[in-house]
């Protein structure tokens, strides 16, 4: 079991999209739990990719290749992680904030939230503050989740928090933020309700914010 997970990770780091898909299929056939494939195969590998990128050992094209490989694996896992007949535990709206086109982490959070039984409204990337609030008005949203990978886009998160306050939604609608340049101190400064340091942690925080055990 560990061997195939290690092979998935190695192939993902190398950006081998087709191989990651094939190995993920093989792991599923062997009976490896989908969440274990996700955690120990795909997420662990992307963490290595992220660390190498930050250390300037690899560059953006390498990260994009690894992301495509990760999507190949996630496409196989999505039907197994998302339980269609599971009653919804709440509704979360997700988006990468305006000016930010990065969505790998946000997409992963969405998949894992669905797997945990939440309804997810994914607004995509480059999302204007007003769009988050429109989604809240159109759906019974309990949590707004925002992601940023660029420091220049982080102020948009503060704008959304302020708009939630202006609309009188504080308390009813919670806000969680995440992304590479974001940290718990920033979340506190903008009055966000929570900070998720990775996808799994973000899911736990959303559960806590919505009172789900």
CATH top class, domain 91-210: alpha beta
Q: What is the mean pLDDT of the chain?
A: 90
Residue 158 has pLDDT above 80, yes or no: yes
Give yes or no for a contact between 1 and 23, defined as CB atoms under 8 angstroms apart: no
Alpha-carbon distance 128 to 122, whole Å?
13
Mean pLDDT of 75-100: 81
Mean pLDDT of 191-203: 91
> What's the pLDDT at 60?
75
As a dihedral over the C-alpha atoms of residue 191, residue 197, residue 199, residue 200, rounded to 10 degrees, the angle is: -100
Interval 25-60: pLDDT, tens:
999 999 999 989 988 998 888 878 877 877 889 887
Confidence of residue 84 (pLDDT cuts 50, 70, 90): very low
pTM for the model = 0.67
Domain ranges for the chain: 2-81, 91-210
Alpha-carbon distance 73 to 18, whole Å?
9
In CATH terms, 2-81 corresponds, of 3.10.510.20, 3.40.50.620, 1.10.760.10, 1.10.1240.10, to 1.10.1240.10
> What's the pLDDT at 188?
98
């Amino acid at each position: 079991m560990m061997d195939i997970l290690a092979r998935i990770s190695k192939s993902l780091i190398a950006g081998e999209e087709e191989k990651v898909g094939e190995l993920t299929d093989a792991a599923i056939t062997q009976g490896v739990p989908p969440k274990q494939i996700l955690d120990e195969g795909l997420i662990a590998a992307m963490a290595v990719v992220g660390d190498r990128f930050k250390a300037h050992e690899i560059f953006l094209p390498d990260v994009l290749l690894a992301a495509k490989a990760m999507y190949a694996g996630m496409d196989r896992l999505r039907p197994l992680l998302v339980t269609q007949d599971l009653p919804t535990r709440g509704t979360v709206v997700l988006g990468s904030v305006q000016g930010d086109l990065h969505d790998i982490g946000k997409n992963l959070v969405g998949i894992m939230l669905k797997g945990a039984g939440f309804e997810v409204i994914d607004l995509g990337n480059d999302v204007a503050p007003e769009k988050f609030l429109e989604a809240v008005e159109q759906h019974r949203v309990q949590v707004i989740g925002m992601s940023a990978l660029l420091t220049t886009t982080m102020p948009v998160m503060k704008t959304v928090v302020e708009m939630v306050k202006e609309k009188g939604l504080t308390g009813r609608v919670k806000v969680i933020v995440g992304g590479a340049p974001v940290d718990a101190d920033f979340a506190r400064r903008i009055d966000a309700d929570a900070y998720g340091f990775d996808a799994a942690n973000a899911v736990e925080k959303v559960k806590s914010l919505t009172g789900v055990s």
